[in-house]
Structure 1
Amino acid sequence: MTRASFDAGLQQVHNDLLTMGSIAEKQIFECIEALVNQDCEMAEKVIRNDDLVDDLQRDIEDKCIKLIATQQPLANDLRTIFTTTKIVTDIERIADHAVDIAKIALRLKNETYITQLTHIPRIADIAKKMIMLSIDAYVEGDVEKAYSTCKMDDEIDIIYKEVFNELLAVIKDDSEAAHQASQFLFVCKFLERIADHTTNICESTVYRVTGEQIDLND
């Protein structure tokens, strides 16, 4: 394999990575829409489409293995391939959390909500932005964008603490509402984990570009 064909193969992997990230971002949007609107059909769609992400993960990993097998990559190339396989795992887990939220939407489909869901969509909007910005930063090799994307996690933490305290008060004061409030807490926790996975992607970007392994999940 020539260098040109190697670069073309790597570009295809990055294109697939962007596609995978776009699907995961859409999964987040749709699972929150399903939850807010109690839309069972959309929730079931999110669950079905998880296979699309899983298939892309396997395809990208196979392409990475072939790139290693058909040419002796340089050290920087190896870092790129290695971090790509790490990132697809993070994206796959992001999509899994979207499925988790969709299942909660189905669980609550016949219940009257104890509160208007305003905080959860706000957290989801930030998480969606983080997903695509983190992947863009990786493909572009933009360390500054990676760092700035991680800072958005602070916004999620602030909203999460606010909604956590509100729902915890509901659980303490109203035993009948406790089950539903706990389900909303799970949703917030899944969204927080999604943000953590985007932070992992940003860490992979820094490692790919600089060779430095850092921890941005603080």
Structure 2
Amino acid sequence: MGNVRKTFESELEELKGKLLRMVDLAERQLGDSMDALKTQNLTLAKAVKQKDAEINALDEEINQKVIQLITQQQPVATDLRKIIVALKISTDVERIGDLAVNIAKSTLHIGEEPLIKPIVDIPKMADAVGVMLRKAFDAYDLEDIDLAFELAKEDDAIDEAYGRMIQELMGYMHRNPDYVNQITQLAFISRHLERVGDHVTNMAENIIFMVKGKTLNLNE
């Protein structure tokens, strides 16, 4: 029985390692997408699109690992929740990677058009959701539900920042009709970042479920 337990724990650590790699890549993709936007570096924006395949591949590896663990180890109760939650978190991280790609696509749509204003507040949102993503993995790794609950509060701040950003951009649109495309793309980018916050909140909910066995809605 002891050897079986050690094998399971080793397999679970391997699963966590793949998940950490996914988080690292998604965090980097968000950062690169912001750098591409701020500097209008279209080459970097294209690179973000290309690197998405790495996140997708890791997501598939995690899917296969979860299937293997369930069929070979036949875990029950808390162990099963740990595995299932890893799968759910990988899905959210994969979608965060997709959102980083969407930001890069918006940067490509803006192209080399002079920016209507310095890009300052949007990168601040990106930094905040990047920190949230890292905290979510830590909460999963440490099984820290207090940290998971903190993420819901931080997401509220992201939602408020998104609301302010949209109001500001709509004001620019009325005063600068020639910049409608750029302003629209900046609004899309803000929305993508707000969605990243939602995915991190999903991760927090699943972490609480993993530890407590209870399903909570932190987006209320």
**After TM superposition, is the score higher than 0.5?**
yes
Partner of 1:131: 133
**CA deviation profile, 1:22-41 (whole Å, cap 9, x unmatched):** 11000000001001100112
Could you tell me how far apart the structure 1 residues matched to 2:160 and 2:217 are? Answer: 20
**CA deviation profile, 1:123-160 (whole Å, cap 9, x unmatched):** 00100000010111012100001111221112212221
Contact 2:132 2:200 in 1 (8 A): yes
Seq. identity, %: 36
1:199 pairs, out of 198, 201, 205, with 201
Question: What is the one-letter code of the residue matched to 2:11?
Answer: G
Q: TM-score, normalised by structure 1?
A: 0.97
Q: Report the count of equivalent residues.
A: 218
Partner of 2:88: 86
Partner of 2:159: 157
Cα drift, residue 90 of structure 1:
0.3
Query: Aligned-pair RMSD on alpha carbons?
Result: 1.0
Contact 2:32 2:45 in 1 (8 A): yes
Cα drift, residue 45 of structure 1:
1.2
Partner of 2:147: 145
Partner of 1:99: 101
**CA deviation profile, 1:148-203 (whole Å, cap 9, x unmatched):** 12211122122212111110111223221122111100000000000100000000
**CA deviation profile, 1:44-84 (whole Å, cap 9, x unmatched):** 11111100000000001111110111122121111111111
Question: What is the one-letter code of the residue matched to 1:111?
Answer: E
Partner of 2:76: 74
Structure 2 SS opposite 1:2:
helix
Could you tell me how far apart the structure 2 residues matched to 1:117 and 1:71 are? Answer: 50
Structure 1 residue ranges without an equivalent (≥5) = none
Could you tell me how far apart the structure 2 residues matched to 1:176 and 1:44 are? Answer: 26
Structure 2 SS opposite 1:152:
helix
Partner of 1:29: 31
Partner of 1:168: 170
User: Does residue 212 in structure 1 map to residue 214 in structure 2?
Assistant: yes
Structure 1 SS opposite 2:199:
helix
Partner of 2:54: 52
Could you tell me how far apart the structure 1 residues matched to 2:207 and 2:106 are? Answer: 33
Question: What is the one-letter code of the residue matched to 2:125?
Answer: I
Q: TM-score, normalised by structure 2?
A: 0.96
Contact 2:27 2:133 in 1 (8 A): yes
Could you tell me how far apart the structure 1 residues matched to 2:93 and 2:163 are? Answer: 25
TM superposition outliers: structure 1 runs of 4+ over 3 Å: none
Could you tell me how far apart the structure 1 residues matched to 2:154 and 2:73 are? Answer: 38
Structure 2 residue ranges without an equivalent (≥5) = none
Could you tell me how far apart the structure 1 residues matched to 2:181 and 2:13 are? Answer: 47
Could you tell me how far apart the structure 1 residues matched to 2:200 and 2:118 are? Answer: 27
Could you tell me how far apart the structure 1 residues matched to 2:77 and 2:90 are? Answer: 20
